[in-house]
Amino acid sequence: MSKGVIIVEDDILLRENLCELLRLDGFDVTECSTGKAFLDHIKTTRFKVAIVDIGLPDKSGYEIASHLRKTTNMGIIILTARTGMDNKIQGFSSGADYYFSKPVDSRELTASINNLMCRLSLKDRNDNQIHTDSWTFNTKGWLLVSPGGKQINLTTKESELISLLQKHDKEGVEKESILKELGYIDQEPYGSRALGVLVTRLRKKVKDSVGENTLIQTVHGFGFSLGEKLVRL
């Protein structure tokens, strides 16, 4: 059975405060101070959500997030003092669902954890869903399912992008509109770069899962569109 939250943070005072707040909110929390201790824990115990600091003494938080995304179904929250856009892009590229800068509002952190746990619960209930002849998108579970039943777990931003493209179907969405909807428009020129990383990562997920990427199409000089029928659940 999956347990609740695991936190890896080397700042003792911050870690203890976070754990106390989350436990008061009813979460089952496991804490560790190094990347090695964190990896040892997840070898023997399944957790639903990981909160990861980037600047650990022995491992990069980016490396840990990437490992989790490739090998587990856990929700990933990066919590760090690094506020630069390049750091955020690297964090999302590593597979983080959320990226928060310290200090974080405990209410926002709690809401994000609950959101991830809800998504994972929905994903578990959909594991045996009936295959269709179309791609399906579970908006609450952040899950793409191919016509053959292959499941692709999405991050927050990936889910927002798919939702936006699905609303416009094959008509496509202008790049500027996508930047605005995803909250990248005020971060130019880094916003365009972040969108490019997002699309590339999502296309790779689709290709790795079904062997080809025809779901997300580039509309040159305009933006992006869906190349396949997608049913919203």
Instruction: Please choose, from the candidates 56, 85, 225, the residue with its C-alpha nearest in 3D space to the C-alpha of residue 64.
Output: 56
Cis preceding-peptide flag for 147 (omega within 30 of 0): no
- Residue 160 near residue 182 (C-beta atoms within 8 A): yes
Per-residue pLDDT, 16: 92
Residues, the chain: 233
pLDDT at res. 144: 87
> What tokens were used for 58?
């022995």
Question: What pLDDT does 188 receive?
Answer: 73
Could you tell me which residues come within 8 angstroms of residue 102 by beta carbon, excluding any fewer than 6 positions away?
Answer: 14, 79, 80, 81
Confidence (pLDDT) at 113 = 92
Q: Where are the alpha helices (DSSP H) in the chain?
A: 12-24, 35-44, 61-71, 85-93, 106-125, 156-168, 175-181, 190-210
pLDDT for 123: 57
Domains of the chain: 3-122 (3.40.50.2300), 128-232 (1.10.10.10)
What is the full per-residue pLDDT of the chain (233 aa) written as tens digits? 446 899 999 999 999 999 999 999 889 999 999 999 999 998 888 899 999 999 899 999 999 999 998 888 889 999 998 888 888 899 998 989 999 988 888 889 999 999 888 877 765 555 545 445 688 888 767 788 888 778 888 888 899 999 999 888 778 999 999 999 998 887 777 888 899 999 999 999 898 888 888 889 999 999 999 988 888 87
pLDDT value for 128: 47
**What whole-number distance in Å separates Cα of residue 98 and Cα of residue 120?**
15
